[in-house]
Amino acid sequence: MTANPLRDPRDRRLPRIPDPCALVVFGVTGDLARKKLIPAVYDLGNRGLLPPGFVLLGFARRDWGDGDFEQLARAAARDHSRTEFRDDVWRRIADCVRFVPGSFDDDDTFDDLDRTLIDLEASHGIAGNAAFYLSIPPVAFPQVLKQLDRTAMASSADQSGWRRVVVEKPFGHDLASSRELNNLVDSVFRPSEVFRIDHYLGKETVQNLLALRFANTWFEPVWNSNFVDSVQITMAEDVGIEGRAAFYDSAGATRDVLQNHLLQLLALTAMEEPVSFDSESLRVEKRKVLRAISLPEDKAAFTVRGQYEQGWLAGQRVRGYLDEDGIPPDSRTETYVAVRLGVETRRWAGVPFYLRTGKRLPRRVTEIAVVFKRAPHLPFAKTDTAELGHNQLVVRVQPDEGITLRFGSKVPGSAMEVREVSMDFLYGSSFTESSPEAYERLLLDVLLGDTTLFPDHNEVEASWQVVDPLEEFWATREPDRYRAGEWGPRAGDEMLACEGRTWRRP
């Protein structure tokens, strides 16, 4: 892989180029690798951000050679890349594609992988640098980690360059298993070499939340309980389980989304300003928030689990969760969850944080809505206070990435009548360059060794300390039902209604 000749290395505004290295992807034939990781590698190459001597090394249980894997990788890049697929770019990447076939329990296979990495130092100049991406089920983590430890491939002390590992969520299934996994990973790799990936933290709009708060003087003075009525964080999906029955039925919406994505978004929304934008400073402030989260005393009223039944979406009938292939007919796994949490800090005391996520909801959307308190007095006789509503600042994470500010404005005419209007900022219309995909940004950070956007084990464990009591409370309770195409069960609306609030409809 050759560097982009148009890039001037003296231009510090451009992203840094990683050192020559290999990216070893375990489970490279799976959906994550084909739809996200390989396209992200292509997009980085298309943008001139891959180093000279970069190698994509696939590992899977397939009787393939390098050419077979190259064909799969080419198809994945062509079908799923963000940037335009160009043959000249792919030819440069194709020269650096390698494949090692085998199973995780085969010592000879991992010995072969070790020899391959050594050979690549001479043939491609990777200088002993390698990142291992575990794109595999969590149950297989221990076996792969122990093989990397046995062969000393994980040890940067035994190599001429650096070694790193990328671990996909879920990070365990409760606090105890999370600690067990963290101890295992940390016994094989140094803490600074472990990258626990939460792809939501790689999204431009999530990072823009920090810019919005800390690069502007408008918002921070009112970003507290004196002015904020409540915060709503929504991650809605219109799809079902999409063939992931075995994983999803064992995880559910709580472990799949609430424990990681939603709590990370809450932490970024509620955190104090870090002393700098480096990994440790950000993690310190996020940990403070996660440890300050309080659960509702009345969990029956302020936590809701739901499971979708058959209904209609986009004019088509869709089946219920219990009718999905591979789902037990008596499953109590939730496909919807909504909770009210508190953050017990001086800034946020008394402000409810409403979090919800669900499948088979009317539309796909992820957003953070900061709802401000009403004005204490309105001197406008013809203004309906119910119609005017609350000022809102809405950060749209996906799709239609951007920010909406909702506020009151005078209606044209002779009378002083005020109505709610919106002011929108859209990434797509404000910047000429499209936002990189989350995995594109995060893979680059892994190769650079930048842990800023990756949760550490303390954040993961603090999140499980929030989730475990909820799972224990729900263990013997049936989920509420909702029809596919609705915004969750009625209990989700009642949770807010009992406090005089309503969900924002994206």
Query: Which residues are part of the catalytic machinery?
Result: 261
CA dihedral 332, 140, 466, 370 (to 10 degrees): -90
3-state secondary structure of 452: coil
DSSP 261: I
The DSSP bridge pattern shows strands 293-294 and 365-372 to be unpaired
Give me the amino acid identity at 319. Answer: R
Residues 6 or more apart in contact with residue 307 via CB below 8 angstroms: 320, 321, 322, 331, 332, 333, 334, 335, 336, 479, 480, 481, 482
- The Cα 109–Cα 484 span in angstroms is 46
Structure tokens at 251: 């995880």
3-state secondary structure of 415: coil
- The Cα 339–Cα 295 span in angstroms is 9
Structure tokens at 342: 């508190």
User: Read out DSSP for 328-343?
Assistant: -TT----SEEEEEEEE
- The Cα 19–Cα 50 span in angstroms is 9
Residues 6 or more apart in contact with residue 431 via CB below 8 angstroms: none
3-state secondary structure of 368: strand
Residues 6 or more apart in contact with residue 101 via CB below 8 angstroms: 59, 60, 61, 62, 63, 64, 109
CB 35 within 8 A of CB 76: yes
CB 453 within 8 A of CB 286: no
- The Cα 452–Cα 455 span in angstroms is 8
Give me the amino acid identity at 341. Answer: L
DSSP 434: P
User: Read out DSSP for 65-119?
Assistant: -HHHHHHHHHHHHHHH-SSPP-HHHHHHHHTTEEEEE--TT-HHHHHHHHHHHHH
Question: Whole-angstrom distance between the N-terminal and C-terminal Cα of the chain?
Answer: 44
DSSP 431: -
Residue with tokens 């296979």: 109
